[in-house]
Amino acid sequence: MTTTGVLIGVLLLAVGFLAGMLVGRRRPAVDEPSVTDAIRPLSDTLERVQVQISAIERERSSSYGELREQVRAMSADSAALRHETGALVTALRAPIVRGRWGEMQLRRIVESAGMLKHCDFLEQPTSTTDDGRVRPDLVVTLTGGRSIVVDAKVPFAGYVEAMDAPDEQTRRSRLRAHARHLRGHVDGLAAKGYAARFSPTPEFVVLFVPSDGFLQAALEHDPALLEHAFDRDVVISTPSTLVALLRTVAFTWRQEAVADNAEQVLALGRELHGRLATMGGHVARLGAALAAAVARYNETVGSLERKVLVSARRFTDLEVTTSSLVGPRPIDAVSRPLQATELLASAADALVDLSDGRSDGGAQQARSTRS
């Protein structure tokens, strides 16, 4: 029996009890209303309450049905997720699948870091010597003829088994095994001798761990793991630290490009300075020629006024002609001498020192050389 039914029953009992009390205590008079007429408003109110309660019950049933469907769908999704997770865990137990997953993670991180444009790298290059063949997952070239070898073949079967452990003791045991496996992989990676197998010679080897949780679990049971790897020129890197490392590599490439451009700018500046010095000599000689031409012109004008026009004006005095002669005006403007230190330097000078107290000496030396 539902709560709504109980509530309706209680209300009906209350109404019946009140009606019985009214009937038992007093008799209806001829001119007084009957009990039925007295309780009719209460009956109407109860009917409206019944209608509202029925509507609420229908809405509750509908909502309960929808909620039940959602819970059923959630249970189905959870079962499918549990199945897929189990399949993934089973696949990760295989060394080949773990290696492929690590390589895929490494490739995605390299692409997200933007190294394709700023850094030259090779995927899975193979090196064969008398001792055998090695194939790291990635080789990133650096400036100065060096490179970084990245290996993603990390064992984490112990970590997967620890996540499926039925009790805490088994979990701790498998995590300790995971730390031992990772330390052993560091020793094996250091023993491969990538420095002798790859040219340019790598300075260190990067051991890429596909998840930060793998390294964190190993460090909890082997805190000296990182120092052990550093001593053997192996850098353990996770997705977050590898991105920072590769971005540093890209920054190094950009700095080298800037340095190369700076050398070219310096060479271009030296060449331009030499050409400016040569052009300054030509301009100085042109100014001297202009000054000489102005001096010759003024001398000619002076001779014309003193010797020629004086005799010609006598024709006017003798009334031979009525027009007067106007002589040419001398040129008072002079050519501006060169003052820039770069133009006063000789073409053989490499660069001009523009520091205080030395630039004037260089200019005076250049003038004395031309004089």
Q: Which CATH number fits domain 91-237: 1.25.40, 2.40.50, 3.40.1350, 1.10.20?
A: 3.40.1350
pLDDT of residue 278: 83
pLDDT of residue 364: 45
In three-state form (DSSP H/G/I as H, E/B as E, the rest C), the secondary structure along the chain is CCHHHHHHHHHHHHHHHHHHHHHHHCCCCCCCCCHHHHHHHHHHHHHHHHHHHHHHHHHHHHHHHHHHHHHHHHHHHHHHHHHHHHHHHHHHCCHHHHHHHHHHHHHHHHHHCCHHHHCCEEECCCEEECCEEECCCEEEECHHHCEEEEECCCCCHHHHHHHCCCCHHHHHHHHHHHHHHHHHHHHHHHHCCHHHHCCCCEEEEEEECCCHHHHHHHHHHCCCHHHHHHHCCEEEECHHHHHHHHHHHHHHHHHHHHHHHHHHHHHHHHHHHHHHHHHHHHHHHHHHHHHHHHHHHHHHHHHHHHHHHHHHCHHHHCCCCCCCCCCCCCCCCCCCCCCCHHHHCCCCCCCCCCCCCCHHHHHHHHHHHHC
pLDDT of residue 227: 92
pLDDT of residue 261: 81
Domain assignments of the chain as residue spans, ordered by start? 91-237, 287-370
pLDDT of residue 365: 42
Q: Full-prediction pTM beyond 0.85?
A: no
**Would you write out the chain's pLDDT as a tens digit for each of its 371 residues?**
566 666 666 666 666 666 665 555 555 444 555 656 666 777 777 778 888 888 888 888 888 888 888 888 888 888 888 777 766 666 556 666 666 777 777 878 777 766 665 556 777 777 776 666 777 878 877 766 677 888 888 887 788 788 878 888 898 998 999 899 999 999 988 888 776 677 666 678 889 888 888 888 999 999 999 999 999 888 898 888 887 877 777 677 777 777 778 888 888 888 887 888 788 888 888 888 888 888 888 888 888 888 787 777 777 777 677 677 666 777 777 777 777 776 666 544 544 454 444 444 444 444 444 44
